[in-house]
Amino acid sequence: SQTIHQWPATLVQPVGSPLSLECTVEGTSNPNLYWYRQAAGRGLQLLFYSIGIGQISSEVPQNLSASRPQDRQFILSSKKLLLSDSGFYLCAWSVTRGGETQYFGPGTRLLVL
């Protein structure tokens, strides 16, 4: 069966510091991978998605970036965090056909102070 991991689970970072969040998927090959952010009182916002190694699509202009160095690894990064980057970051995967069900990881709760 498929499993999705995210770490760290929680993170407190000062404004202006860098960020690296990691997501890995087990039990499937060539998945579509997604990063979402859920801010307090707001819905889930799609940040990035990837259909393959090195292929990243950005949905929202911001100071975040994503990379997919391996088939089942997806990384979310920032060079300098803003207060507005605080939120619950969720990684999700789906099969490659598109339009299919997405399954979420446990999430990383980020607080920028």
Partner 1 sequence: QKEVEQNSGPLSVPEGAIASLNCTYSDRGSQSFFWYRQYSGKSPELIMSIYSNGDKEDGRFTAQLNKASQYVSLLIRDSQPSDSATYLCAVSGGGADGLTFGKGTHLIIQP
Query: What is the C-alpha to C-alpha distance for residues 26 and 9, in angstroms, rounded to an integer?
Result: 18
Nearest approach in angstroms of CB 53 to partner 1 is 14
Q: Which is nearer to partner 1, 14 or 43 (CB)?
A: 43
CB of 78 to partner 1, least distance (A): 19
* Dihedral sign, Cα of residue 98, residue 102, residue 108, residue 110: positive
Contact between 33 and 50 (Cβ < 8 Å): yes
Give contact residues for partner 1 (rule: CB under 8 A). 32, 34, 36, 42-44, 46, 49, 51, 57, 59, 90, 92, 94, 96, 98-107, 109
Task: Report the alpha-carbon distance of residue 82 to residue 31 in Å, rounded.
Answer: 30
**Residue with Cβ nearer partner 1 (67 or 104):** 104
CB-CB neighbours of 84 under 10 Å: 11
CB of 20 to partner 1, least distance (A): 19
Nearer to partner 1, 26 or 100 (CB): 100
